[in-house]
Every structure is written in structure tokens, then in C-alpha cells.
A and B are shown apart, each in its own frame.
Chain A
């Protein structure tokens, strides 16, 4: 295996949880909802995924459980913000608090147990191609899922009627409602999709990335996923670019350290965040890029005026 190939493989595994959670949140935000509880949904996905895979011995059941946990948490959020029109920022933060506590409680008896790893599922033939084979076709099922989700969300959002409706609701819920679209049901669906993706992302951490459960194992990745969505100006392809870029900056920081260059590690650790800010500024500064795509109704509650 070549050195570059190893670097890219490391970057992909580091970026996949960010990508999974961010692509879900992108759909949520496109529909005009801001769910800051990604971290809470993720950590619940991680613990439920681990608990089920450990108990049943099947990592695939674990993946399903992780998704279910994410959806359950997102429904709590949806009920509060969509049905009861509670403030989305505050509810999202409360969701994170609840998720961190609940996951610790569920996971109490799973600390220190070795998990069942979700093994790589190499695609015969294709994975034999030099260089791109192992990178694109030698991964586990969740990495494929992240590729597929980016493509699917990109397609649905911009090439189908469903996507048009979601975007219409996110841009102007009042007129979308006047046109007869069900603002609340569509937003529920989007919030649940976001929950499923965040759960999946948590499951990736506890099943594939590092098969084990320890408290707070998401380590702030949910927040980075949120940043990536804005960084992408709500475009799925750019979410993927952003996630891999973020992963790459982090991994390259480790390489620089291992090479023995005497740069303070704190600087290297903060580099991904600085890069995100700079990228955010560059993209936001370009009016044509950002204006068109920003969901105008983001974070605003909607109550139908029947």
C-alpha cells in the first residue's frame, strides 16, 4: 500500500462520521429547521448501536439500532419545535444535554467491553484496481452509505419535485403553505432524516471507527458537522468536500507532528477550526454563492394560519 493511499484511507475514516451527520443536518436546514442537537443524537446512536451489536453479536443490527436511536431523539426535537413551536436553538442545546446524559446511563454496563467490528466489505473486482480500488471499493458499508447519501441528497434536492418542495418550505414557509404544501409534515420528515443520519454517524464511531463504548465518545464531532453544513452553503457536494478537507487538515496535523516538526500541538489542533472560519468567510464573501442557497426561513418557527 502506497503512502498516499494510506493517508487518504485515514482521512476517509476520520471524515465519514462528520460527513454522515452533516448530510443529514443539511436536509434539516434546507427545510428551514436548525437542529443544534446533532451531538446528542449522535452520541445516542453510538451507545444504542454498540449495545445492540454487543448483545446480538450483529453489527448490522447495531447499525439499525443507531439509526432508530437518532430518529427517536429527532422526534423529541420535532415535537417540541414543530408541534409546540419551541425555540429551535434552545431545544437543540437541551437535546444535546439529554443525549449525553441518557447515553451515559444506557452505556453504564457496556464500558470496557470489546465490540464487534463492522468489517470492511470489499467489492470484488473493483477493489483490486490499483490506488482507487481500496479507497472507493474496499470500505465498510457505512462509508459506502456516506458516498451514496451525498449523491442521493444531491439528486433529490435539486432534480426532483420532493427537493423542490423542501427547498420552497425552507425559503418561504408562508407561501409554501399557501401553495398547499404541508410545511409541518415535510419538516418532520426532514428532521427525522437528520436524526437517522446523526444516529448512523454515531453508530459509525462505536461500530466501525473504534468498536467500543465510552462516555462522550463523540467528542464534539456533532458541532463540527453543523459547521460543515454552513461551510457547504447547503450544497451536498460541498459538504463532502468540507468533511474531507476538515479530516485532511486534522490528519496532516498528526503527520506534521509525527515527523518531529516543533510546532505547538495546540496550534495544529486548532487548525481545522481556523480553516473552517477562513473557508466560511471566503464562501460567505462571495454573495452569488451563498445568497442563493441559504434557506431564508432557517431557525424560524411556523404555525399554519388555517
Chain B
């Protein structure tokens, strides 16, 4: 009796659920935050929407949001794999081990792990060279700042954040060797209130330009109030600060997502490591505004140079905070050194937690 009931219920579920899923490629996403964070997760979800739009009826997407890194990650990923997803994007560093574990069990499913470094036959990794954008805004900051001090609001000391700070500083130093960067850690990816407080503190300590590696628009809004300048983060935030945002570093995953899902459809998908920069479109720059023409011109030139690989922000020799020098003259640091960066360049007014 019991089994009969269970069987009935299952059949009921099948008829309702599986009818529409024939022959479509299913692309699935695991998000660490809510899609409404207007930052990291939001931008990934924008990428998902573009996949839906561009590939139309051939593709179906699904996502799970707010999946904490840790106990829930493996289950959420495996659920998607069991649910018939053909390719699964896991969009936070903390999903690395979970992604690999599930990938071992589901050899036919393709996995894409953002910001990690462990791969397998069916696991690719991808990340963006956001530090390229940060080098450019560092130059803009040094050109336009009157006080010669920039404020930098940051979340957590992971290598990506640290290399961002360094790239910003190197960009600034290429214009003004005495440029100063003040760093404040708020220990949160997005908490508008805390970010606003940090911005106010930085302005009162002499900064007249602000940048951030946190997701909310609050620092820009505070900059607007104080008549200072700033940069957008993750998305173009010009609507929040029309006279204040000079440009923004935009996370644009859509191109990558479309191409990877297409590769699954064509059967050309291979495990690889993608580290896309400005050249790949993964790192986008919002239009340069609210700055003198010559500064905008310089910024565009730098952008083009980076795009054509003529310029690499991390070209040696680079002097670290402790005075030691890394990198050979004229040669860029290798990828590993950038991906695992845990030191500051000289001149940054902060100590890294060791």
C-alpha cells in the first residue's frame, strides 16, 4: 500500500515536472548571496539572464541563492546535478571543495568554479583580472586628487582584494610617486551603513577620492554629499551618483557564460582555466565622466594598452611594503604570484593581517 502511494506521488510529480525539459540544455547557478545584493551575486545573475535571452528556447536555467559556503554547498550543487543540469556554475571561492566532490560523482555534468584554483576533467575555473581596472582607476585618482590621498574600503583580505589594492596603488604611483592610500576593512561584502561610515571616516582623514572592494553604492553616495569623487564597483553605479562616479569596474560574466553554455551544446566544452581581463570583456569599464578631458584621454590610453597586453599592472620590479623587491625589470609577475598575493606594495598606509 505504502509503496503504491509513493509510486503514485512520484508519477504525479513526473508528469508535472519533467514534461517541458526535453532536449534543452540546462545551465544552473549556485549563488553565495541573494540576487538582490546589487553586487557580486547580482552580476552573476545578470549573466544568467543574458544566457536565457541569447540562447532562447535551447536553454533552460535554474539557480539556488543564499547558499552558505560550508555545509549546504555540496548538497545544493549535487541537487542541481541530479536535477539534470548539464553545466553548473558555482560562483564563490568557498565552493571549491564541494564542487570537486560533486564533480567526481557526476562525470557527465560540466562544472565551472569561479575564483578557485583546483580543476578536474569536468571542472573548469574562471575569474576576472579586476586588478586591471583598478590600475586604471588608480591613475585617474592620482591625476584628479588634490590632497593626494585616496580612501579604499575593503571587505576581506583575500588575494583578489589585496592585488586590487596593489594595482590601484601602482597605477596611482605611476602618476604621483608620493600618492597615499588609506585602507579600511569593514569585514562585510555589503553593509551599506558600515560602508557609509567608513567613507565618512576616510574623507575626514583627508581623502578626497574613494574606491571600494565592497558591493554597495553607499560610499559613492557619501562622496556625492561631501563633494568628493569616487568609482563604482561591480556594476555601473552612475545612477546613484551622477556627478561623482568617474568610472566603474563592471563585472561582466555574460559573454563567458554564453560561450561556455554554447560549448556544452556543441560538445566542444573542455576543462580549462580562464582568467579574463579587459581584453575578454569580463572586466568592463563604465564610461569615463566627471573628469577633465586629458585625464579621460590618459585613462582610455591605459585601457587600450592593457587590452592589447602592452601594459601589465604587475610589471617588475615592484617594491613591497617591507622594502624587498619582486619581479624582474620589464617582466610581469607570474599568475601564481598575483593569484595568491598577500603583501602590499610600498606606500600603502595599512598592515596586512598575516
Contact = CB atoms under 8 A, between A and B. Distances in A.
Do A and B interact directly, with beta carbons closer than 8 Å? yes
Contacts of A246: none
B197 A264 contact: no
A212 B192 contact: yes
Interface in B197-219: 197-198, 200-202, 204-205, 216-218
A196 B248 CA distance: 38
A8 B194 CA distance: 16
Nearest to B191: A219
A258 B194 contact: no
A230 interface: no
A260 interface: yes
Interface stretch (A28-36, A85-93, A107-115, A143-151): A107-115
Given A10-B200, A251-B201, A258-B201, A212 B185 contact: no
A213 B36 CA distance: 9
A253 B259 CA distance: 45
Interface string B177-193: 00000111111101111
Contacts of B33: 215
B239 interface: yes
B240 A114 contact: yes
A205 interface: yes
Nearest to A9: B200
Interface string A1-21: 001001101100110010000
B103 to A, nearest CB: 30
B267 interface: no
A234 B42 CA distance: 42
B261 interface: no
B34 A221 contact: no
A3 B184 CA distance: 18
A217 interface: yes
Interface of A is mostly: helix
Contact of B187 (A210, A251, A255, A265): A265
A170 to B, nearest CB: 31
A47 B42 CA distance: 18
Contacts of A211: 221
B105 interface: no
Nearest to A100: B34
A178 B188 CA distance: 51
Contacts of A255: 201, 205
A219 B193 contact: yes
Contacts of B151: 258
A210 B196 contact: yes
Contact of A212 (B183, B216, B350): B216
A111 B36 contact: yes
A254 interface: yes
Nearest to A264: B353
Contacts of B198: 254
Interface in A109-158: 111-114, 117
Nearest to A10: B200
Given A104-B34, A258-B182, A259-B205, A217 B191 contact: yes
Interface string A222-264: 0000000000000000000000000000110011011111101
Given A10-B200, A112-B38, A210-B218, A260 B194 contact: no
A215 B37 CA distance: 6
B349 interface: yes
B63 to A, nearest CB: 14
B221 A210 contact: yes
A234 to B, nearest CB: 26
Interface in B12-70: 33-39, 42
A265 B157 CA distance: 10
A262 B183 CA distance: 11
20 contacts: A3-B204, A7-B204, A10-B200, A10-B201, A13-B196, A111-B35, A112-B42, A113-B239, A117-B221, A209-B192, A210-B192, A214-B38, A214-B192, A217-B191, A251-B197, A257-B185, A258-B184, A260-B183, A260-B350, A265-B185
Given A13-B197, A107-B36, 14 more contacts: A104-B36, A112-B42, A205-B193, A210-B193, A210-B216, A210-B221, A212-B240, A214-B38, A251-B197, A254-B201, A257-B184, A258-B201, A258-B202, A260-B349
Interface of B: 33-39, 42, 151, 182-188, 190-198, 200-202, 204-205, 216-218, 221, 235, 239-240, 349-351, 353
